[in-house]
Structure 1
């Protein structure tokens, strides 16, 4: 049995075997909607692009190698990947999700519950007592998001997944913020892992995509069926571009993470800052868990100012280099106010319960020079002082 390849080797591999015509090192793009059959009885490996496409096959093969998955599907957005995970649930199935999850996930779960398609319990998964109470009643799926978006809370994946399995439930982890280069949830006991490939996996801020991967081949077949039936599969072009983005993922995430660590340490010394949330700080909650289940702290951080929304608005209004926008993981550093941007679909009372305050700022660190980024953040503090 061959030794598993390292992540940097996996993403650099060109997969020329998936181009049977020319075995090109730079993969071709197959934008066709359909493929020729040799005869009515001989179904080819690729027959219709909504169902299967060589570019999606190349991407899912690469992601599966990175995550240690049996396979999966490539969807047209991260939200489509989340929807796919819920589509396979029976009517009325109960889902347990983090109370501080990504706003789009909260919105989707809450809407499905309103339509009586599922039942959902939002709980602080870092609180043992609250989690134990939540799993007393039957449930079908545990949704884990760690680090959480935007507060970077760390959930013990291994313990929570084991608890779900002991009760006959599946566990899915959203691994968008760390990528498989910094965390492999399937190795820690999860059954499914999802990504918004729009973010750091692509890294170029120029497309939408998602992926849902599974450890069980039978589950992979089920996901493929539902994704095809629902028309959720991603395009050939976007899949090819995400493969292109993956080539530089190890380089990008190393640089972004190093800069994020430096910025977090600098912010922690500022008197205007009430709290910094970053898994790379020694003082952060869950530091032992970070060491146990992550290969690094990642490129995302958030921090709270003192003074509420007016202070946060003045701060971001003074920035010149850092862009006020609601995505993450790209080459450019972005800042947002989650309460009014990424989590605006979450009711105010739910935001308060999750700890998302009006002066919380989320920072997705890009590839700029750290000195320039710190100088720009200093402009924000100077504006507050004036």
Structure 2
């Protein structure tokens, strides 16, 4: 099946008992058993739920993987992947990454003597140089959050596997519609399904996909043992959203292209970060690695933080809010919002300054989005 057909049908056969086309919401905490060790595949809803199984199977299909797992949030999915590490282990991560991920690395893993080294996102040499005898995995975002840098997944996978390491790729920004890291050599793909997968800003969730049975068994054990699982209603909402993922991503990307071109010519904008622009340093890698450039655009504002604040207060269609990937357009100030947990000196050294704005470009009419940005960016 092609992508959008899988999004609508994978793991979502008509209900065998009633013929219902839509996967039912199995709102139950436990399941009847006919005798000791005899049941219909489900015993307790933390361990498994038929609605959740449908989402897990669908996510695996979309990422061309064998096994999927669903979680109560993207960070719950991240924490489950990190459960593969033990005290004294080490990991290598790209330097530009979500603030919540950095917070886990530096304020939670460090308490268990698990250390993290950071490599410049696009430098394959730095990933290899950062590897130590106790390194267990490499962690990537591509495109990165919020500077939209690209990492060559295939090249880093070759480095990881040469050293017997696992490669983990956060594919949230791209979605499986535009990029499928397992096909490029990654061992584990994760998503905040809150974002593009659900696409309607009405549910929190996370997902992991892998084709490695040993890794899957370890992650599945942790999912059940730690219990950060989504409820059936949240899963059902995500399944509902996922059906339109393909058509939504095409419109997100088309609108983002128009917005990026507009911003790149605006006198109050210093720099635009969007891999679809020919001026982006990773544009050719994006063309090879992705089938589209996504719906995220970041830009450096000419002026002060007060000018940024004045601009976001003027926005009428773009909503000033955290998160991304919904059908509505959002504007975010990473330094004070999504990346506020990263110390200023580290943020600024990586290029994330107080005058950077990140846009999640929605699927509204592009002309209205441009008009909104144009009026908001006018001189005081």
Alpha-carbon displacement from aligned partner over 1:312-333 (angstroms, at most 9, x marks no partner): 1111111111100011000110
Please report the RMSD computed on the Cα atoms of aligned residues, expressed in angstroms. 1.3
Q: Partners in 2 of 1:347 and 1:32 — Cα distance? A: 44
Cα deviation, residue 222, structure 1: 1.5
Q: Partners in 2 of 1:167 and 1:355 — Cα distance? A: 30
For normalisation by structure 1, the TM-score amounts to 0.96
Where do 4+ consecutive residues of structure 1 move more than 3 Å?
Answer: 14-18
Q: SS of 2:377's equivalent? A: helix
Cα deviation, residue 11, structure 1: 1.2
Superposed counterparts of 1:294-313, under 5 Å: 294-313=290-309
Larger CA deviation: 302-311 vs 327-336: 302-311
Question: Does structure 2 conserve the Cα–Cα contact (< 8 Å) formed by 1:29 and 1:55?
Answer: yes
In structure 2, the CA distance between the partners of 1:307 and 1:254, relative to structure 1 (3 Å rule), is same
In structure 2, the CA distance between the partners of 1:341 and 1:156, relative to structure 1 (3 Å rule), is same
The one of 100, 119, 135 aligned to 1:139: 135
Q: SS of 1:194's equivalent? A: strand
Are residues 1:85 and 2:81 paired?
A: yes
Alpha-carbon displacement from aligned partner over 1:10-49 (angstroms, at most 9, x marks no partner): 1122755472312311111101000111111324311110
Cα deviation, residue 258, structure 1: 0.3
Task: Show the counterpart of 2:201.
Answer: 205
The runs of 5 or more residues in structure 2 that have no matched partner are: none
Q: Partners in 1 of 2:371 and 2:74 — Cα distance? A: 33
Question: Does structure 1 conserve the Cα–Cα contact (< 8 Å) formed by 2:121 and 2:149?
Answer: no
In structure 2, the CA distance between the partners of 1:345 and 1:16, relative to structure 1 (3 Å rule), is closer
Cα deviation, residue 235, structure 1: 1.2
Superposed counterparts of 1:319-330, under 5 Å: 319-330=315-326
Task: Give the number of aligned pairs.
Answer: 380
Cα deviation, residue 137, structure 1: 4.6
For normalisation by structure 2, the TM-score amounts to 0.97
Larger CA deviation: 188-197 vs 265-274: 265-274
Cα deviation, residue 127, structure 1: 2.2
Are residues 1:359 and 2:355 paired?
A: yes
The one of 160, 168, 175 aligned to 1:172: 168
Q: SS of 2:237's equivalent? A: helix
Cα deviation, residue 117, structure 1: 4.2
Are residues 1:103 and 2:102 paired?
A: no
